[in-house]
């Protein structure tokens, strides 16, 4: 049966997917360019599924409400944009260490500081290299279409529960604001089964459940860390996702995540029209990063151009993947400026094709 | 053993043995099942142990162990979950009432309480405290006010009295520089979201009984879903006040209670 297509704005499509995924609770605070998530849920969610939707007094309160509610074993989430996500970092660190599942959505805007309300990708480091304090990792999915804004919601919840870990959907302001056609999934049921670790009231037949990230004994705390690291190694083994477009015969590879990957696909078409064989490599999971796939690709190509809406963040991981086998160049725009396909092609010719001829 | 060579403790033990009063029939005081059999880390004379105990007794007496979730703060009582035999979550500093909100919103029929000190609730967590009470979350907030940061070693708290010495107000709290003590309990009593707001103490048996009654009422009110219950417990900190437990309780009576008078600040209207 062919499903109905709908024309939806990225933020609203994501919010609709949240309801359809059977999410139990959303806690959030308004911030441009993602306020439509809270608005859409406030209008639609409670009446349709009975889901809790609460506007908190701050992002700090939001993430701590998520922490409390996630501890009950329910499907819970928050969303925000860059400055708000900065405020949540302490809470994310607690959630990661306490091993609780939840979804956090960052519809990025350009920074630093108050920055701009236009799209950006400058939260890559914050998202995949820590952000908060301590050794933890944030499983991160980077959508490049409104359809993926929808699809990644349920995927994120599944991964969060599979590994008892917070999962981030790292989008950007353009994806949040633009309209595209989407196919929506079926309505899932709200959470019925409560996991054994959840704090829902201690019954006689079990020990009390404690959700904490504290151990005063350094050896106990080291073991907590070792357990976390073991989990991250499993995630790195099992959950790497990426997309390759026209990479088989390519001489040059454009590497980009999110929206920029689609601009790169257009740039690759323009390049092929000029006879330059270009492919696009798009990491879908930013953590775990597809190091191996990129490394293999390096054997068959002449060079890489990494394109981002920041000053050069993911390019460090691309270099770590390529390990010096081939040149890795970078082109970035900042402050909310989106690079054009022509500009990317020009940079590719300038930095790689011209140099290597 | 010669009576003169005995320590006071040994002497006491011998007396008890002779009296033979330690028999089951004479037991009047037991550990409720809601307290774990764990020696507490609190300093001698500290009010936390008593406050923990009365919460545990109330939960046991109401028979709601399987329906209660507690939230521990950052501060001396960060390890409250080691002693209370109930499901608990340990919150980030100041965020216990937000964490409790999250739990209560998804489990509206359970009993949820946060247990927070003065630095946690009235300094770093003031925003969460005010907004949780303003939304009228159907939870109990237990607020332990001893006018000092205990765990970090005796720094000035939002509730440190004027002129009171601490490691960060070594010449006494100068209100012209450091501001006045924050009477946050008076503040939340003004909010329509609070249902029952009271100030208690645990410095004497009669006050302990009153505090326990306040906690019990708060859990009972929680079932009615009419708003936030807020119980301040004026407590002590012998170690950081640099006093013996007896001196600390005397100082509390003479200095803390005049500034933080005991009694109900808001009673349910019905």
Cα B4 vs. chain centroid, distance in angstroms? 42
B106 touching A, CB under 8 A?
Answer: yes
User: Å from B145 to nearest chain A CA?
Assistant: 23
- CB-based contact B66 A204, cutoff 8 Å: yes
Domain A243-356 class in CATH: alpha beta
From chain B, the residues in CB contact with A56 under 8 A are: 98, 131
Residue (of B188, B69, B61) closest to A70 by Cα position? B69
B103 touching A, CB under 8 A?
Answer: yes
Q: What is the pLDDT of residues A210-268, one digit of tens each?
A: 999 999 999 999 999 999 999 999 999 999 999 999 999 999 999 999 999 999 999 99
- CB-based contact A201 B69, cutoff 8 Å: yes
User: Å from A61 to nearest chain B CA?
Assistant: 6
What is the pLDDT averaged over residues A313-329?
98
Read off the DSSP letter of residue B79.
G
- CB-based contact A60 B90, cutoff 8 Å: no
Please state, as a whole number, how many other Cβ atoms lie within 10 Å of the Cβ of residue B109: 10
A90 touching B, CB under 8 A?
Answer: yes
**ipTM for the complex?**
0.96
B88 touching A, CB under 8 A?
Answer: yes
Measure the CA angle with vertex A188, ends A187 and A193; round to 5°: 160
Element (H, E) at A131: none
Q: What is the pLDDT of residues A335-357, one digit of tens each?
A: 999 999 999 999 999 999 986 55
Residue pair A145/A180 in contact (Cβ under 8 Å)? The answer is yes
Read off the DSSP letter of residue B199.
E
Q: Is A85 exposed, middle or buried (0-12, 13-18, 19+ CB in 10 A)?
A: buried
Q: What is the pLDDT of residues A19-74, one digit of tens each?
A: 999 999 999 999 999 999 999 999 999 999 999 999 999 999 999 999 999 999 99
B38 touching A, CB under 8 A?
Answer: no
What is the reported pTM? 0.95
- CB-based contact A64 B71, cutoff 8 Å: no
User: Å from B66 to nearest chain A CA?
Assistant: 4
- CB-based contact A212 B95, cutoff 8 Å: no
Task: Give the pair of three-digit tokens for residue B180.
Answer: 């006045």
A26 touching B, CB under 8 A?
Answer: no
Each domain of chain A, given as residue ranges in start order, spans: 5-201+227-238, 243-356
pLDDT score at B27? 81
| Closest in A24, A60, A69 to B103, CB measured | A69
pLDDT score at A284? 98
From chain A, the residues in CB contact with B131 under 8 A are: 56-57, 61
pLDDT score at A1? 56
Closest-CA residue of chain A to B127: A57
- CB-based contact A201 B92, cutoff 8 Å: no
In terms of phi and psi (left: phi > 0; alpha: psi -120 to 50; beta: otherwise), the region of B247 is alpha
User: Å from A74 to nearest chain B CA?
Assistant: 8
pLDDT score at B24? 78
Q: What is the pLDDT of residues B192-204, one digit of tens each?
A: 999 999 999 999 9
Burial A263-277 (b: 16+ CB within 10 A, else e): bbbebbebbeeeebb
- CB-based contact B131 A57, cutoff 8 Å: yes
> Which of B70, B77, B79, B106 would you mutate first to test chain A, the one with the most A CBs within 10 A?
B106
In whole numbers, what is the pLDDT of chain A averaged over residues?
97
Read off the DSSP letter of residue A17.
H
Contacts of B27 (CB under 8 A, 6+ apart): none
- CB-based contact A202 B81, cutoff 8 Å: no
Q: Do domains A5-201+227-238 and A243-356 have the same CATH topology?
A: yes
Domains and CATH numbers, chain B: 44-152+181-266 (3.40.50.970)
| Closest in A24, A58, A210 to B106, CB measured | A24
- Is A5-201+227-238 CATH 2.60.120.10? no
Q: Strand, coil or helix: what is A296?
A: helix
Between CA A260 and CA B49 the distance in angstroms is 58
A199 touching B, CB under 8 A?
Answer: yes
pLDDT score at A82? 97
Residue pair A205/B84 in contact (Cβ under 8 Å)? The answer is no
What is the pLDDT averaged over residues A137-145?
98
Which mean pLDDT values do the consecutive 10-residue runs of chain B (270 residues) have? 67 70 78 95 96 98 98 96 98 98 98 98 98 98 97 97 97 98 98 98 97 98 97 98 97 98 91
> Which of A201, A205, A224 would you mutate first to test chain B, the one with the most B CBs within 10 A?
A201
B109 touching A, CB under 8 A?
Answer: no
């Amino acid at each position: 049966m062919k499903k109905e297509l709908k024309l939806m704005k990225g933020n609203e499509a994501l919010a609709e997917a949240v309801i359809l995924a059977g999410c139990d609770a959303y806690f959030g605070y308004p911030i441009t360019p993602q306020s439509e998530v809270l608005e859409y849920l406030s209008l639609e969610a409670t009446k349709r599924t009975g889901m809790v939707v609460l506007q908190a007094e701050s992002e700090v309160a939001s993430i701590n409400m998520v922490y409390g509610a996630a501890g009950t074993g329910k499907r819970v989430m928050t969303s925000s944009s860059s400055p708000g996500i900065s405020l949540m970092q302490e809470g994310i660190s607690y959630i990661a260490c306490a091993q609780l599942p939840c979804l956090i959505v960052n519809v990025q805007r350009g920074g630093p500081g108050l920055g701009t309300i236009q799209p950006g990708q400058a939260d890559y480091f914050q998202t995949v290299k820590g952000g908060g304090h301590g050794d933890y990792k944030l499983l991160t999915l980077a959508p490049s279409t409104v359809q993926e804004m929808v699809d990644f919601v349920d995927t994120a919840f599944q991964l969060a529960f599979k590994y008892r870990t917070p999962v981030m959907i790292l989008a950007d302001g353009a994806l949040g604001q633009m309209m595209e056609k989407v196919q929506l999934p079926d309505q899932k049921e709200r959470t019925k089964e409560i996991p054994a670790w959840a704090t829902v009231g201690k019954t006689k037949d079990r020990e009390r459940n404690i959700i904490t990230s504290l151990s005063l004994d350094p050896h106990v705390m080291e073991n907590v860390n070792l357990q976390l690291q073991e989990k991250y190694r499993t995630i790195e083994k099992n959950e790497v996702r990426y997309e390759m477009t026209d990479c088989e015969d390519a001489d040059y590879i454009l590497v980009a995540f999110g929206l920029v990957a689609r601009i790169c696909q257009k740039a690759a078409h323009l390049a092929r029209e000029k006879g330059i064989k270009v492919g696009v490599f798009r990491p879908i999971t930013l953590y775990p990063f597809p190091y191996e796939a990129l490394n293999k690709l390096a054997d068959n190509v002449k060079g890489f151009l990494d394109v981002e809406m920041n000053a050069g963040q993911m390019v460090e991981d691309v270099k770590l993947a390529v390990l010096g086998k081939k040149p890795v160049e970078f082109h970035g725009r900042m402050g909310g400026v989106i690079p054009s396909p022509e500009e990317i092609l020009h940079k590719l010719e300038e930095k790689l094709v011209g140099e290597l001829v | 053993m010669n009576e003169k060579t005995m320590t006071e403790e040994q002497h006491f033990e011998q007396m008890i043995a002779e009296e033979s009063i330690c028999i089951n029939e004479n037991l009047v005081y037991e550990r409720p099942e809601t307290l774990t059999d764990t020696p507490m880390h609190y300093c001698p004379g500290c009010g936390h142990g008593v406050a923990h105990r009365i919460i545990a007794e109330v939960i046991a007496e109401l028979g709601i162990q399987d329906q209660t979730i507690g939230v521990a703060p950052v501060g001396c009582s960060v390890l409250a979950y080691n002693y209370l035999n109930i499901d608990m979550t340990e919150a980030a500093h100041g965020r216990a009432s937000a964490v409790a909100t999250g739990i209560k919103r998804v489990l509206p029929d359970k009993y949820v309480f946060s247990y927070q000190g003065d630095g946690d609730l009235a300094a770093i967590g003031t925003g969460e405290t005010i907004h949780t009470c303003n939304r009228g979350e159907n939870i109990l907030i237990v607020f332990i006010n001893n006018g000092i940061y205990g765990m970090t070693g005796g720094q000035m708290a939002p509730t440190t009295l004027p002129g009171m010495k601490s490691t960060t107000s070594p010449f006494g709290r100068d209100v012209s520089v450091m501001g006045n003590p924050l009477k946050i309990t008076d503040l939340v009593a003004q909010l329509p979201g609070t249902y029952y707001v009271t100030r208690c103490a645990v410095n004497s048996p009669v006050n302990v009984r009153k505090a326990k009654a306040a906690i019990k009422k708060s859990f009972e009110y929680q079932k009615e879903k009419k708003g936030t219950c807020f119980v301040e417990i004026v407590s002590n900190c012998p170690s950081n006040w640099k006093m013996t437990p007896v001196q600390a309780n005397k100082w509390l009576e003479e200095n803390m209670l005049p500034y933080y008078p005991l009694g109900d600040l808001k009673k349910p209207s019905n």
